[in-house]
Amino acid sequence: MKMPNVIKTSVCIIVCISMVGCATMFHGSTQTVTMRSNHDDTKFYVNEAYVGKGSAVTVFQKNKNYMLRASRDGYEDVMIPASKSFDATTLLGVLIDFGIITILVVDGIGTGAWQQFDQTTYVIDPEVAKSK
Protein backbone atom coordinates (compact mmCIF):
# COMPACT_ATOMS: atom_id res chain seq x y z
CA MET A 1 0.00 0.00 0.00
CA LYS A 2 1.43 3.37 -1.05
CA MET A 3 1.27 6.53 1.06
CA PRO A 4 -0.09 9.63 -0.68
CA ASN A 5 2.46 12.39 -1.37
CA VAL A 6 0.77 14.74 1.12
CA ILE A 7 1.36 12.31 3.98
CA LYS A 8 4.98 11.70 2.91
CA THR A 9 5.63 15.43 2.73
CA SER A 10 3.97 16.04 6.11
CA VAL A 11 5.98 13.29 7.80
CA CYS A 12 9.19 14.61 6.23
CA ILE A 13 8.50 18.17 7.46
CA ILE A 14 7.68 16.98 10.99
CA VAL A 15 10.87 14.89 11.15
CA CYS A 16 13.02 17.80 9.90
CA ILE A 17 11.52 20.27 12.37
CA SER A 18 11.92 17.90 15.28
CA MET A 19 15.62 17.39 14.50
CA VAL A 20 16.35 21.02 15.41
CA GLY A 21 15.65 22.25 18.92
CA CYS A 22 14.30 25.75 19.44
CA ALA A 23 17.22 26.97 21.54
CA THR A 24 19.64 25.62 18.93
CA MET A 25 17.65 27.20 16.13
CA PHE A 26 17.36 30.67 17.71
CA HIS A 27 20.55 30.97 19.80
CA GLY A 28 22.88 28.32 18.39
CA SER A 29 25.00 25.77 20.21
CA THR A 30 27.94 28.14 20.76
CA GLN A 31 28.55 31.57 22.26
CA THR A 32 31.35 34.03 21.58
CA VAL A 33 33.07 35.19 24.77
CA THR A 34 35.37 38.21 25.11
CA MET A 35 37.95 38.67 27.85
CA ARG A 36 39.98 41.78 28.53
CA SER A 37 42.11 43.34 31.23
CA ASN A 38 43.06 46.85 32.27
CA HIS A 39 46.70 45.77 31.78
CA ASP A 40 48.07 45.00 28.31
CA ASP A 41 50.49 42.34 29.58
CA THR A 42 47.78 40.09 31.10
CA LYS A 43 47.65 36.60 29.56
CA PHE A 44 44.33 34.77 29.23
CA TYR A 45 43.75 31.04 29.42
CA VAL A 46 40.57 29.00 28.95
CA ASN A 47 40.75 25.53 30.51
CA GLU A 48 44.54 26.01 30.67
CA ALA A 49 44.81 26.73 26.92
CA TYR A 50 46.36 30.11 26.04
CA VAL A 51 43.90 32.34 24.14
CA GLY A 52 45.50 35.79 24.11
CA LYS A 53 47.31 38.70 25.75
CA GLY A 54 45.63 41.96 26.80
CA SER A 55 42.33 40.83 25.33
CA ALA A 56 40.97 37.65 23.79
CA VAL A 57 37.92 36.42 21.92
CA THR A 58 36.97 32.75 21.90
CA VAL A 59 33.98 30.53 21.17
CA PHE A 60 32.43 28.37 23.89
CA GLN A 61 30.42 25.23 23.20
CA LYS A 62 27.25 25.31 25.32
CA ASN A 63 27.56 21.63 26.23
CA LYS A 64 30.98 22.11 27.87
CA ASN A 65 32.21 23.82 31.05
CA TYR A 66 34.96 26.43 31.04
CA MET A 67 37.35 28.00 33.54
CA LEU A 68 38.86 31.40 32.68
CA ARG A 69 42.25 32.41 34.03
CA ALA A 70 44.07 35.75 33.91
CA SER A 71 47.80 35.70 34.58
CA ARG A 72 50.38 38.49 34.90
CA ASP A 73 54.00 38.41 36.08
CA GLY A 74 54.30 39.49 39.71
CA TYR A 75 50.59 39.10 40.36
CA GLU A 76 48.37 36.27 41.57
CA ASP A 77 46.30 34.54 38.92
CA VAL A 78 42.56 35.02 38.96
CA MET A 79 40.34 32.10 37.96
CA ILE A 80 36.65 32.48 37.14
CA PRO A 81 34.23 29.72 36.14
CA ALA A 82 31.98 30.56 33.19
CA SER A 83 28.52 30.13 34.71
CA LYS A 84 25.47 28.98 32.77
CA SER A 85 21.72 29.21 33.20
CA PHE A 86 18.64 27.74 31.52
CA ASP A 87 17.69 29.21 28.12
CA ALA A 88 13.91 29.71 28.19
CA THR A 89 13.73 29.56 24.38
CA THR A 90 14.13 25.81 24.80
CA LEU A 91 10.55 25.60 26.06
CA LEU A 92 9.22 26.44 22.59
CA GLY A 93 9.99 22.81 21.75
CA VAL A 94 6.86 21.87 23.69
CA LEU A 95 4.84 23.35 20.82
CA ILE A 96 6.57 21.20 18.20
CA ASP A 97 6.67 17.69 19.66
CA PHE A 98 5.85 18.16 23.34
CA GLY A 99 9.58 18.58 23.88
CA ILE A 100 10.39 14.90 23.58
CA ILE A 101 12.85 15.21 20.71
CA THR A 102 13.51 18.97 20.47
CA ILE A 103 14.16 19.61 24.16
CA LEU A 104 15.48 16.37 25.58
CA VAL A 105 17.45 15.01 22.65
CA VAL A 106 18.50 17.98 20.50
CA ASP A 107 18.78 20.94 22.92
CA GLY A 108 19.74 18.82 25.93
CA ILE A 109 21.88 15.84 25.09
CA GLY A 110 22.95 16.76 21.56
CA THR A 111 23.97 20.42 21.65
CA GLY A 112 23.60 21.61 25.25
CA ALA A 113 21.73 24.62 23.85
CA TRP A 114 19.19 24.47 26.67
CA GLN A 115 21.83 26.36 28.66
CA GLN A 116 23.44 29.68 27.91
CA PHE A 117 26.46 31.40 29.38
CA ASP A 118 25.48 34.14 31.82
CA GLN A 119 28.23 36.48 30.64
CA THR A 120 29.81 36.97 27.25
CA THR A 121 32.23 39.74 28.30
CA TYR A 122 34.70 39.50 31.17
CA VAL A 123 37.07 42.11 32.57
CA ILE A 124 39.63 40.18 34.61
CA ASP A 125 42.60 41.76 36.36
CA PRO A 126 45.14 39.64 38.25
CA GLU A 127 45.43 40.50 41.93
CA VAL A 128 48.48 42.04 43.60
CA ALA A 129 50.66 39.27 45.03
CA LYS A 130 50.32 38.95 48.80
CA SER A 131 53.56 39.22 50.74
CA LYS A 132 54.31 36.44 53.20
- What would the pLDDT profile of 67-105 be if each residue is shown by its tens digit? 999 999 989 999 999 998 877 776 666 666 666 666 666
What is the percentage of the chain residues whose pLDDT exceeds 70?
62
Supply the pTM of this predicted model: 0.72
Residue 53 is assigned to a structural domain of this protein: yes
Q: Is residue 11 part of a domain?
A: no
* Averaged pLDDT of the chain: 79
* pLDDT tens digits, 16-42: 554 555 556 666 778 899 999 999 999
- Which residues lie below 8 Å from residue 42, measured CB to CB, with a gap of 6+? 53, 54, 70, 71, 72, 124, 125, 126
What's the CATH code of the domain at 111? 2.60.40
Owning domain of residue 49: 31-128
